[in-house]
Amino acid sequence: MSELRYTRDHEWIRVEGDIATVGISAFAQEQLGDVVFVELPEIGRTVSAGAEAAVVESVKAASEVYAPVSGEVVAVNEALNEKPELVNSDPTGEGWFMKIRLADAGELDALMDDSGYAAFTAGQG
């Protein structure tokens, strides 16, 4: 399963094995504008689905990034410390925030696929 899934809070997740890569959607970064700072979680931290896991700040606002799934943070994108603009230029690629080892793969069932997320964001913004 390598396709993206989305939360109602505009995070995306890509799962490979038991590791989930997490970032914010293209829609979210467009709403935020130019990202100037990202606060990443500590490696080893346990996060819960729906709980705050990181913070992204832009020229417009600061916003929480919520964990789409529960688990342990096993990696963070250190490149964002020097180049937070990667969130704008490649939100679903090099602009990823963290990698989480899944505690419960069943939580993925609550997330939207591409078409569901497109319908959810239609008319927003």
Tell me: the pLDDT tens digits for 87-121? Answer: 999 999 999 999 999 999 999 999 999 999 999 99
CA–CA separation, 60 vs 32, rounded Å? 6
Domains, the chain, ranges and CATH? Answer: 5-105 (2.40.50.100)
pLDDT band, residue 123 (cuts 50/70/90) = confident
Return the closest-CA partner of residue 28 out of 80, 64, 78.
64
> Quick check: helix, strand or coil at residue 1?
coil
Return the closest-CA partner of residue 7 out of 20, 17, 19, 35.
20
Tell me: the pLDDT tens digits for 38-57? Answer: 999 999 999 999 999 999 99
Residue 111 near residue 8, CB atoms below 8 Å: no
pTM of the model: 0.95
Q: How many CB atoms neighbour CB 1 within 10 A?
A: 10
CA–CA separation, 92 vs 25, rounded Å? 7
